[in-house]
Structure 1
Amino acid sequence: MNNDIQLPRYTKSQLALRNGQDKPEIWIAIHGQIYNVSASRLWWNGKHYEHWAGQDLTEELKDAPHSDKVLERFEIIGVLI
């Protein structure tokens, strides 16, 4: 996706605040893109199985029972810097 130039940029510290605990938003990062997963019941309270929101989950995705295609239903709201 080449919309990176138009998307806001967030640091890991800013991403960490969107963990479902500190702020109402629930965000995760995969491959440098930040997704808003707040609407997903699977991310309720910032936790999805053994994974916590507010962080880069690129490495964890390798062991997931699904591909990154599941992220297509969520809005990309920023870029992780």
Structure 2
Amino acid sequence: MGKTFSRKELVNFDGKDSRPAYIAYNGAVYDVTDNMFWAEGTHIQSHSAGIDLTAEIDNAPHGEEVFEGLNKVGVLED
């Protein structure tokens, strides 16, 4: 299943300064480091890596299907 991340740990994976870019959604943590839509840890200039985006999906122009193609690296602690 991978690593268990706390929210405090997740913020370190922001995609800045050559750090990996991870995002969380619905309890899972995904690596978006090499995803072209997450250049330097930023998605469409409105979302940053290193956070839980579960609450944001309702405002997105896409659904949760976008997470299907991402590499799951762990789970997010409650």
TM-score clears 0.5: yes
- State how far apart, in whole Å, the 2-side matches of 1:29 and 1:23 are: 19
Runs of 4 or more above 3 Å deviation? none
Question: What corresponds to 2:34 in structure 1?
Answer: 39
How far apart are residue 17 of structure 1 and its match? 0.3
Question: What corresponds to 1:76 in structure 2?
Answer: 72
Identity in percent: 34
String of CA shifts for 1:41-66, please: whole Å, max 9, x gaps.
11011110201110000001111010
Question: What corresponds to 2:51 in structure 1?
Answer: 55
String of CA shifts for 1:10-33, please: whole Å, max 9, x gaps.
101111000011552100000010
Q: Where in structure 1 are there 5+ consecutive unaligned residues?
A: 1-5
Question: What corresponds to 1:25 in structure 2?
Answer: 20
Q: TM-score scaled to structure 2, two decimals?
A: 0.90
Q: Where in structure 2 are there 5+ consecutive unaligned residues?
A: none
Question: What corresponds to 1:12 in structure 2?
Answer: 7
Q: Paired residues, what number? A: 76
